[in-house]
Structure 1
Amino acid sequence: MAPAQTEKPNRPYHHGDLRRAILTAALDVIAADGPAALSLRDLARRAGVSHAAPAHHFRDRTGLLTAIAAEGFGLLAAAVEEASDLKDAGVRYVRFAREHPAHFQVMFAPELLRADDLELTTARALAAAALRTSVEGVRAEDLGVDSRLAGVAAWSLAHGFATLLLGHNLDGPVGDEDPEEVFRTLATTLFRTA
């Protein structure tokens, strides 16, 4: 006669896509409370896994934030690559910030990231290349500066507008207007494309 088997709880050993679950939970926390509120232990609890499980994918909090930034730069590159001109690239940049505010917060906070992470440096380079391509249509003679400085000016306008928008600093001036159309008007005022 075989010994009676003790019934074990029907709980799967593996989560499924734990990496994505942790990233999604982290983005929710950052969107609600900022990156400072992020805790791997809390994220593990939310995902229903052991407190050590997130470390298998991200090593530590910095690794998690670096993965979020890398993902964000990849999403930004994909969005800007499809732009028809510089104004459209700026609109897509602003749209990206509005649709991915947690990514946006982390991407531009180098003190939170591993600067030498290959995934991050690759994604950042792709985003920079997409932004540079969109500047190629700007005529330097119209601006009185070279294309490198035109790129800095365009990025400053889009990034500054997006940052002010996310911080609710433009609620009064923008009002009920579509922020993307407001940005398009600003860009048209400042840049003429070839």
Structure 2
Amino acid sequence: MPASKYHRENLRATLLELAEATVRSSGVESLSLRQLARDAGVSHAAPARHFRDRQALLDALAFDGFERLNAMMSDAAGSEGSFETRFRALATAYVDFAVENAALLGLMYIAKHAEGASDALIAAGRRSMDLAVSLVAAAQAAGQVIPGDSGRIALVVFASVHGVASLATDELLDGMSVEDATAATVELLLRAITVTPR
């Protein structure tokens, strides 16, 4: 993006946008601050005003990704309707994000678990799981979900839904669409965790 197309105060956002595009098209390994500076049409030193090094850029990219994922999942969990409706919406939001942003999601989880990860990044990385736990716990309180550790139940749910996304991005669904695979997984999960027989 030529320098004339953005204001200098928006350089950070521009660099993140270009970095995400690079991760999506070429992978994390090909990401460099020097190349981003060239792509943005700025001096090689300009990115240092916002990111002290490549790792700081990756951490910022991961944090931004978590913020977007969490916003999507929060909207889904807070939507109108029954527990089952919100549960489906939450699962679908995660799978949609994970499939659309597979390379970014991988970076997000690596950055979250890296030694020296910031408290803000770790908290952002936990937020989506916290949303799932809260949804399950509220349904338990309403007598809609089986008793038990809400965190463990949410973890199993999360692992199952993440598995669908991983299979989809690796093209291992054996011809089943990601929408059908998600719906089937959600239906089985609901049969397992809801109190009322389905």
**Range into which the TM-score falls when normalised by the shorter chain:** 0.7 to 0.9
Deviations for 1:85-116, whole angstroms, at most 9, x for unmatched residues? 32321111001113333431211113885643
Q: How does 1:1-194 map to 2 (within 5 A)?
A: 15-83=8-76, 84-110=85-111, 113=114, 115-136=116-137, 137=139, 139-141=145-147, 146-170=149-173, 172-174=174-176, 177=177, 179-192=178-191, 193=194
Per the TM alignment, residue 65 of structure 1 is displaced from its structure 2 partner at its CA by: 0.8
What SS class does the counterpart of residue 173 from structure 1 fall into?
coil
Alignment partners' CA distance in 1, 2:94 and 2:116: 22
Per the TM alignment, residue 16 of structure 1 is displaced from its structure 2 partner at its CA by: 4.2
Superposed CA RMSD in Å reads: 2.5
Q: In structure 2, what residue type is equivalent to 1:140?
A: I
Q: Does the 8 A contact of 2:58 with 2:111 survive in 1?
A: no
**Relative to structure 1, is the Cα distance of residues 22 and 114 closer, same or farther in structure 2, using a 3 angstrom cutoff?**
farther
Q: Does the 8 A contact of 2:23 with 2:31 survive in 1?
A: yes
- Higher relative contact order by CA 8 Å / sep ≥ 6: 1 or 2? 1
Gaps of 5+ in 2: 77-84
Task: Name the counterpart of 2:80.
Answer: none
Alignment partners' CA distance in 2, 1:129 and 1:115: 22
Question: Displaced runs of 4+ in structure 1, greater than 6 A?
Answer: none
Task: Name the counterpart of 1:5.
Answer: none
Bigger Cα Rg: 1
Q: Tell me how many residue pairs correspond in the alignment.
A: 176
Q: Does the 8 A contact of 2:112 with 2:121 survive in 1?
A: no
Q: In structure 1, what residue type is equivalent to 2:20?
A: L
Per the TM alignment, residue 156 of structure 1 is displaced from its structure 2 partner at its CA by: 0.5
Q: Which has the higher helix share?
A: 2
What SS class does the counterpart of residue 191 from structure 1 fall into?
helix
Q: In structure 2, what residue type is equivalent to 1:41?
A: R
TM-score, normalised to structure 1, is: 0.78
